[in-house]
Amino acid sequence: MIAQRARTFTESVIREMTRVAHQHGAINLAQGFPDFPMPEPMKDAACAAIHGDINQYAVTWGAPALRLAIAEKYRRWYDFEVDPDRDVTVTCGATEAMASVFLALVDPGDEVVVFEPFYENYGPDAVLAGATPLFVPLLAPDWRIDEERLAAALARRPKAIVLNTPHNPSGKVFTRAEMDLIARLVLEHDVPWVITDEIYEHIVYAGHHHPIATWPGMKERTVTISGLSKTFSCTGWRLGYAIAPPSATSAIRKVHDFLTVGAPAPLQAAAAVGMAFDADYFNHLMTGYRERRDLLCGALVEAGFTLTLPQGAYYVLCGFDQLSDKDDVSFARWLAAEVGVATVPGSSFYRESGDGRKLTRFAFCKKAETLEAAVDRLSNLRAVV
Ligand SMILES: Cc1ncc(COP(=O)(O)O)c(C=O)c1O
């Protein structure tokens, strides 16, 4: 007999598509993990930490050196003052940060605003906390906020709004004007919390990343979540963090402690090395991703997909209605089995509108040769559908 809460969400479609990719020998453009190596100095630092016997529990809320490196990074990049002792909790990935923040700040029965399409974890996070998501559409093709729906949702005085910028799956980077709008409405309706997932903060091709915590009046009600997975190409290290005002941080730390005790100690030591990399590293990361984006997106348009060029993150959500009558799940399974390219069906990013039925998401966090092999397989798609 399993608990009700575990019955109300399905297993991750993204990770299921990775298994489908293995089954068919398909190129995995479904799950967002790089197939190229992470930075050598961080690997060396991790090995040194293990050999140096940093192998026991770290401080529950994060090794002091890493929390300091996080605080320094926010000052350097965003002019955002973060207190490493009172504002930071290091977690097992942004995934655990988001779950711990939900459990620490959201009560059963609370409403939480989520933009749709959304990263699939936010739904189960809400269920685990007993909260009800209120979906606000981002309108294709340019993923504009539906302002009327946002104003109506925030007027209900939900407990929190979840932001994600740069955005998975659309590649949208929220503009300064959109941040102004969100901050104004949050303050007007006295919404207690903005929970912002900024894991793709360093992968921006157009515009700029704007942390909403730096808006006037927002620091006190914002929890900023980010992590190492995407910035340092180390999704397997499971390191993330939450930055929040001290009262929220105390609650988040308690939940985090009893869920995990702490994040891996030797990897935290190595993470501090990466957090201190200079601007060259981050520029190089972004330029590499822009080349991958252009390679894949150009080929997808030629193959017959419709898309809006992503401004950030490393995904592209594509329409396939000019290619096939199938629904998104059948299309993604067919594409993996018959063409040899695995993607994620669009419906896993939508709950309310069903708009995902003619969409599929490609990830381009792969080596040029992996993307070229996928492009080759997709090149005569029109002939085989
Ligand atoms: C928006 C978003 N948040 C969080 C994560 C997961 O981050 P982590 O590996 O730090 O748990 C992902 C991974 O794809 C993501 O796309």
Q: Is the CB of 84 under 6 A from ligand 1?
A: no
Q: How far is the CA of 95 from the centre of ligand 1 (A)?
A: 6
Q: How far is the CA of 300 from the centre of ligand 1 (A)?
A: 24
Q: Is the CB of 138 under 6 A from ligand 1?
A: no
Strand pairing partners for 363? 315
Strand pairing partners for 89? 242
Query: What pLDDT is recorded for position 205?
Result: 97
Task: Express each pLDDT in 302-334 by its tens digit.
Answer: 999 999 999 999 999 999 999 999 999 999 999
| Cis peptide bond upstream of 266, omega within 30 | no
Q: In whole numbers, what is the pLDDT of the chain averaged over residues?
A: 95
Query: What pLDDT is recorded for position 127?
Result: 87
Query: What pLDDT is recorded for position 12?
Result: 82
Q: Is the CB of 119 under 6 A from ligand 1?
A: yes
Q: How far is the CA of 94 from the centre of ligand 1 (A)?
A: 6
Q: Is the CB of 199 under 6 A from ligand 1?
A: yes
What ligand 1 atom has the least distance to the C-alpha of 228? 10
Q: Is the CB of 133 under 6 A from ligand 1?
A: no
How far apart CA 184 and CA 177 sit, in angstroms, is 10
Q: Is the CB of 235 under 6 A from ligand 1?
A: yes
Q: Which two tokens stand for residue 107?
A: 């009560």
**Single pTM value for the model:** 0.96
Q: How far is the CA of 382 from the centre of ligand 1 (A)?
A: 33
Q: Is the CB of 166 under 6 A from ligand 1?
A: no
Task: Express each pLDDT in 216-270 by its tens digit.
Answer: 999 999 999 999 999 999 999 999 999 999 999 999 999 999 999 999 999 999 9
Is the separation of the CB atoms in 132 and 109 below 8 Å? yes
pLDDT band at residue 353 under the 50/70/90 scheme: low
Is the separation of the CB atoms in 363 and 31 below 8 Å? yes
Task: Express each pLDDT in 64-102 by its tens digit.
Answer: 999 999 999 999 999 999 999 999 999 999 999 999 999
Hey, whose CA ends up nearest to atom 16 of ligand 1?
Answer: 168
Task: Express each pLDDT in 101-130 by its tens digit.
Answer: 999 999 999 999 999 999 989 988 998 999
Place of tokens 């993204």: 14
Q: Which residue has the higher pLDDT, 46 or 353?
A: 46
